[in-house]
Structure 1
Amino acid sequence: MKGRLILENGIAFEGNCFGKISDTVGEVVFNTGMTGYQEILTDPSYYGQIVSMTYPLIGNYGINIDDSQSDSPKVRGFIIRERCQEPNNFRCEFDLDMYLKKNNIMAIEGIDTRHLTKLIRNAGTMKGLITTADIENEDINKYFDGFSNKTAVAEVTAKKISTIGEGSHHVGILDFGIKNNIVNSFLYKGCKVTIFPAFTRTDELLKYNLDGIFLSNGPGDPTDLPEVIENLKVLIHKMPVTGICLGVQLIALALGCETTKMKFGHRGCNHPVKDLKTGKVTITSQNHGYMIKEESLTEDIEVTHININDGTIEGIRHKHLPVMGVQYHPEACPGPHDSNIIFDDFVNLYKGAK
């Protein structure tokens, strides 16, 4: 079915819609990964966003249940250059169109995704609408004006407390939209894990005799979570705290730093990051649209990692408290395994405090 992607700046692309045919609006972002589209679709950090894949052919190995990073796709929409209609892989259980239909996700193909990527790179992230209707400009603006992603974390967080694993170290996870493989990474390290809803109060967390707290990835602007930040201001003085992506941004805000929105963010599995202590550069998987402002760092915080491409902060550590975090995704779904050693650092921090 013919359709259009209409951007907030008025530029429109024509293509063919598939998946669940229903108008959808969201923040348009691009991901540079050559593979891993299922992990991207099911990553809760993409909640509220329409994701465009820069790699031209998507769907060639189909979809399977095991590779999902949450219980369902979390993207608002999906944009690709070309869809493979006959996937070929022994693990394939659905094709892309069937999977998106089943989960009510609107998608469009036939778009010049490289042109779209250049537009976003030059103008910055903007809202977009995927539609099959001939909509007037006034109605398009109503779509954009009515879109907000401020409650994204509340939509994707765990609804109840749950515990898995039987390890010797008990890690509490504040779930802002966690990927399954982050939980698995702690289980592989021999940890018992208790997952808490994002807005669980500090006094409730302290009842569980935890060795440390981990702050997960998640969608949206970290400054939209003031109650979480206030809880963390207390928590960082009670036990070790670590975090990934949104988690490290929240740590920074709790420590008195500032965050800011990036022009177009980092999304893909080929981002080089340098460990300032060892000098080693690893290739990392990333998905974030906000960053820690370097000029806002206090004297008690040291930068541990930087992005080679643009020099932005990729990791911090407190000089006196057992508090640290990284901006990239060491669990590598999708992506390389270079950086998963960071989970050893997290667990050693918990062990040291214990």
Structure 2
Amino acid sequence: MQARLLLEDGTLFTGLSFGAEAEMAGEVVFNTGITGYQEVLSDPSYCGQIVTMTYPLIGNYGITRDDFEAIRPYIHGFAVRRHEPVPSNWRAEYSIDRLLKEYGIPGISDIDTRMLTRILRHHGTMKGLLTTGSQSVEELKERLDATPLMRDQVARTSTKNVFSSPGNGERIVLIDYGAKTGILRELTKRGCDVVVVPHDTTADQIRRLNPDGIQLSNGPGDPKDVPYAVETLKQLIGEYPIFGICLGHQLFALASGADTTSLKFGHRGGNHPVKELESGRCYITSQNHGYTVLEESVKNTNLTVTHINNNDGTIEGLKHNTHPAFTVQYHPEAAPGPFDSSYLFDQFLEMIREHKRNNPQRPRQAQLSETLKGELQYAQK
């Protein structure tokens, strides 16, 4: 069956259909990863986007349960040069075609993905419509023009309920803005007692969980579309050690007085070089974002830039000058990509321990005793 991808500038790609017979619009972006297409498909940060892979052969090692980064894919379309319908890998459980069919997501293959990527690099990311229908190009253009880009991706991808992953170590509240499973995996691997909360959890609700530290997750879309999250972070900065990743990094910057802006075509892939300014060391990182923190806006804040992108000089890391908090724009949990930066989770835990040493708290038994005493006095009234 034929499939077509129409860009908002009028460029039309015609290829073969795989996945669902459907029509979906979204922001068209490209990912430069050679492997890791399943993690890309299931990364909530791609919610509402049509993703093209620059590597030409996709699907050859299939889909396996263990490699999902979310419970389901949130992308609106998948564009590849060559789709392999019969995977060859001992871990494979089924194919990309079956996965996309299951969730109603269209795919297109046998198109010039190199040309598509060059268009996006030159003109920037743009809206697109991926369809298996037979409508005229004029009708498709009308539909595309009438379809706005999504603005509620965080609400769509975040957990709806609080849940925990128990451990014997530090209690970490993970605010889920569209979190990848890899973040939870890295924290639990280190024995943390993790409580995952929805994106709109208030500061008071987080305080009642009595965390040792707060992890800000990755997530989709424009950070300015979730102003309530910024207001919550304003209340929490300084109270608890904080570590932010990707969207969490941008929200932390906004809460600290900095500003964000969109990139021309974003950073998406597993091979982005990042320089740590203090040591001069370069790390190869996994990235997936379309927005960045403005360098000029950081100068009037209490933040220091810790990392920059070696390709375009954009900000990749921040730390607070007076409070225990730091963030990175890239993905230290990888999945897919290199694990060069997983040490940041250890750095986060050490920051929590140092904060505890410098700010010893009264024993919880004494706090509980005071609480019970207050409740008794209230009852006697």
Residue 322 (structure 1) aligned with residue 324 (structure 2): yes
Partner amino acid for 1:330? P
Q: Does 1:164 align with 2:161?
A: no
Match of 2:61 in 1: 61
Deviation at 1:100, TM superposition (A): 1.1
CA contact (8 A) 2:127 2:144 kept: no
What is aligned with 1:44? 44
For 1:26, the equivalent position in structure 2 comes to 26
Larger radius of gyration: 2
CA contact (8 A) 1:62 1:88 kept: yes
2-structure distance, mates of 1:317, 1:28:
32
Structure 2 portions without partners, runs of 5+: 357-381
TM superposition shift of 1:142? 3.1
1:29-55 C-alpha deviation (Å, 9 max, x unpaired)? 000000000000000000000000000
Number of matched residues? 354
Unaligned runs of 5+ in 1: none
Deviation at 1:251, TM superposition (A): 0.2
* Identity fraction in percent: 49
User: What's the CA shift string for 1:94-153, capped at 9, x where partnerless?
Assistant: 011112111211100011001000000000000000113223525523334323321100
Distance in 1 between the 2:92 and 2:187 partners?
Answer: 28
Structure whose residues are more often helix by fraction: 2
Per-residue deviation at 1:250? 0.2
Give matches, 1:178-197, under 5 Å: 178-197=179-198
Aligned to 1:153, the other structure's residue is in SS state helix
Contact 2:158/2:176 (CA < 8 Å) preserved in 1? yes
Contact kept, 8 Å, 2:241 with 2:352, in 1: the verdict is yes
Q: 1:306 and 2:308 equivalent?
A: yes
Give the aligned residue type for 2:25: V
Question: In structure 2, what residue type is equivalent to 1:213?
Answer: I
Please state how far the C-alpha of 1:237 moved relative to its aligned partner. 2.7
Name the structure 1 match of 2:347: 345
Please give the alpha-carbon distance, in whole angstroms, between the structure 1 residues aligned to 2:116 and 2:25.
16
Alignment of 1:248-327 (within 5 A): 248-297=249-298, 298-327=300-329
| Range with bigger deviation, 58-67 or 129-138 | 129-138
Match of 1:263, as an amino acid?
K
TM-score relative to the length of structure 2: 0.91
Task: Determine the structure 2 residue equivalent to 1:14.
Answer: 14
> Which runs of at least 4 in structure 1 moved beyond 6 Å after TM superposition?
none
Does the Cα contact within 8 Å between 2:57 and 2:81 map onto a contact in 1?
A: yes
User: C-alpha displacement at 1:87, in angstroms?
Assistant: 1.0
Secondary structure of 2:66's aligned partner:
coil
CA contact (8 A) 1:128 1:144 kept: no
Identify the residue that residue 368 of structure 2 maps to in structure 1: none
> 1:26–1:128: 8 Å Cα contact kept in structure 2?
yes
Q: Is the 8 A contact 2:154 2:177 kept in 1?
A: yes
Letter in structure 2 aligned against 1:305: H
Helix, strand or coil: the match of 2:68?
Answer: coil
Equivalent residue letter for 1:225: V
Would you say the 8 A contact 1:244–1:329 is kept in 2? yes
2:112 maps to a residue whose letter is D
* Corresponding residue for residue 245 of structure 1: 246
Say which SS state the counterpart of residue 65 (structure 2) adopts.
Answer: coil
Distance of 2:236 and 2:180 partners within structure 1: 23
- The answer on whether the counterparts of 2:27 and 2:149 sit within 8 Å (CA) in structure 1 is no
CA distance in 2, matches of 1:301, 1:246: 17
Q: Is 2:213 the counterpart of 1:212?
A: yes
Asked if residue 96 in structure 1 is aligned to residue 89 in structure 2, the reply is no
On the 8 A contact 1:214/1:242 being kept in 2, the answer is yes
Task: Say whether 1:74 aligns with 2:77.
Answer: no
Relative to structure 1, the CA distance from residue 79 to residue 162 in structure 2 (aligned partners, 3 Å threshold; closer, same or farther) is same
How far, CA to CA, are the matches of 2:74 and 2:48 in structure 1? 8
Counterpart in the other structure of 1:117: 117
Q: Deviations over 1:140-177 (max 9, x none)?
A: 23334323321100000001001112132000011011
Look up the SS of the partner of 1:30 in the other structure: strand
Letter in 1 for 2:167: E
Kindly indicate whether the alpha-carbon contact (under 8 Å) linking 2:158 and 2:178 is maintained by their aligned counterparts in 1.
yes
RMSD: 1.1
